[in-house]
Amino acid sequence: MAVSHVIEDERALIDAIREIAQERVAPRAAEIDHSGEFPWDMKELLAQQDILGMPFPVEYGGIGASELAIVMAIEELSRCCATTGLLLAVQQLGSLPIHLFGTHEQKQKYFPRLATGEWLAAFGLTEAGSGSDAAAMTTTAVRKGDKYILNGSKRFITNGGLAQVNSVFALTDPSKGTRGISAFIVEKDFPGFSVGRIEDKMGIKGSQTAELIFNDCEVPVENLLGREGDGFKLAMMTLDRTRPGIGAQAVGIAQGALDLAVGYSKQRVQFNKPIAENQGIQFMLADMATSVEAARLMVYNAAEMIDAGAKNFSKYSAMAKMFASDAAISVTNDAIQVLGGYGYMKEYPAERMMRDAKITQIYEGTNQIQRLVIARSLLTEL
C-alpha cells in the first residue's frame, strides 16, 4: 500500500469504510449495474456512516476530512462499486463551488443538509455544444430586480434531476467571453428549472446522468457565487481540486480488477497447474500491480498538495487524473485477458470494471485536456 499521511482518526475511518465497502457495497455492485437504477440504499448507507459528510467543514455539520482522506474513501468504495464511489466524489464536486466562493449564509443554508446526505449536489458546467471548450457555453443569466433569469441547458450532469443543490454556470455578459461567466446555486424546485433526458450509459450505470433545462428559471440574487464574472475561474478552481477524486475512483476500479485477476489466476487450472504459475501471467500481474501503485501514489500526492495549500498543485492534479484513468483502462483490459472467456462474460465483474473505468478518462476534463494543462504548466515554469 502506498505511503500516506492521514491522521490516526482518519486512518480508522478509512479502515471502517474499507470494511463497509467489502461487506455492504460489493454485494450490490452487479445488481446496480444490471438495473441501472440509482442506488438509494447505498446513498443512505454512506449518509448513515457520515461518509457523505467528509468534504464539509465541522462548523457546518460535516466531518472536515482532509482531501487525502476523501480520495482514499473514494478509492475504497470504487474498488467494490464505481457508482457508489461516485456518490462521494460528486457530493464534493457539486458543493465545492460553494465551499470556495460561498458566503457564510450560503454555507449555513446548504452544507448541513448536504453533509447529512439529506440533499445531493450536482455540478452544472457541460452543455451539448460546450464540453472541453467550457467557454462555448450558451446558457445565459440576466438580472431582473432581485432575481437572475436563467435560460439554456446543461448536459451529462451527474446526479442531474436528483440533486437538490446545483452549482450552475451561465453567461451574465456574453461579450466578455470567459470573464462573462458567473456561477449560481440553483435549487431543484426553483421555478423554470426542469430535467430533460436521462442518459443510458456504457458504465457507472447506477449513477443518474441527466440534462438540466432552464426556461426563465428564477434564481435569487443572493444565490450568486462570488461576483459576476467569477464563474469560469471558480469552475477551473473546482476541477483542479476534484480531479484527484476521479483519479481515486480509477485507482479503486483498477485495484478491484487486479484483486480479481490475482484470485482467478490462483484458481484457474490449465495444463494441470494454476495459470498463476505461468510466467506470462505473472508478468501481466506484476505490470498491473505496478501501474496501480504508481497511480495511487500520484493521486495521494496531489491530494496532499491540496491539503498543504501548494500553489502549483494544478499540474499534479491533472497528472494524477490522467495517469490513473489511463492505468485503470489498461489494468481492467488485462484483467479480462487473464480471465479469458470468463472475463468477457457478465458472470464476472471484469467487464463491468472496464466499462466503468472508461468514463474516468472523459469526465472532469478529458485526458487530452489534462495533457494541455500539464504542458502549459511546464512551459510557463521554464
Q: What is the pLDDT of residues 106-156, one digit of tens each?
A: 999 999 999 999 999 999 999 999 989 988 999 999 999 999 999 999 999
pTM over 0.75: yes
- Which residue, among 188, 118, 128, has the nearest Cα to 160 in the 3D structure? 188
Residue 2, pLDDT above cutoff 70:
no
**Which is catalytic among the residues 37, 127, 364, 381?**
364
Residue 381, pLDDT above cutoff 90:
no
- Lookup: cell for 207: 449513477
- Summarize the confidence of residues 353-376 as an average pLDDT: 97
Q: Number of C-alpha atoms within 13 angstroms, CB side, residue 175? A: 0
Question: Which band of pLDDT confidence, cut at 50, 70 and 90, is reported for residue 3?
Answer: low
Tell me the C-alpha distance between 224 and 334, whole Å. 47
Residue 382, pLDDT above cutoff 70:
no
Cβ atoms of residues 268 and 378 within 8 Å = no
Instruction: State the residue for C-alpha cell 456504457.
Output: 202
Q: What is the pLDDT of residues 255-308, one digit of tens each?
A: 999 999 999 999 999 999 999 999 999 999 999 999 999 999 999 999 999 999
Cβ atoms of residues 233 and 181 within 8 Å = no
Tell me the C-alpha distance between 83 and 74, whole Å. 10
What is the β-pairing status of strands 165-171 and 121-124?
parallel
Question: Which band of pLDDT confidence, cut at 50, 70 and 90, is reported for residue 5?
Answer: confident
Residue 345, pLDDT above cutoff 70:
yes
Helix/strand number for the chain, H first, E second: 11, 10
- Summarize the confidence of residues 193-198 as an average pLDDT: 97
Q: Tell me, what's the pLDDT at 301?
A: 97
Residue 6, pLDDT above cutoff 90:
no
Q: What is the pLDDT of residues 32-61, one digit of tens each?
A: 999 999 999 999 999 999 999 999 999 999
Q: Number of C-alpha atoms within 13 angstroms, CB side, residue 327? A: 31
Q: What is the pLDDT of residues 150-172, one digit of tens each?
A: 999 999 999 999 999 999 999 99
Domains and CATH numbers, the chain: 8-115 (1.10.540.10), 121-231 (2.40.110.10), 233-381 (1.20.140.10)
Cβ atoms of residues 14 and 72 within 8 Å = yes
Q: Tell me, what's the pLDDT at 177?
A: 92
Q: Which residues contact 257 (CB under 8 A, 6 or more apart)?
A: 288, 328, 331, 332, 334, 335, 350, 353, 354, 357
Q: What is the pLDDT of residues 211-248, one digit of tens each?
A: 999 999 999 999 999 999 999 999 999 999 999 999 99
Q: What is the DSSP code string of 26-94?
A: GGGHHHHHHH----HHHHHHHHHTT-TTTTS-GGGTS----HHHHHHHHHHHHHH-HHHHHHHHHHHHH
Whether 364 is catalytic is yes
Eight-class DSSP state of 218: E
Cβ atoms of residues 203 and 82 within 8 Å = yes
Tell me the C-alpha distance between 33 and 13, whole Å. 27
- Lookup: cell for 82: 464505481
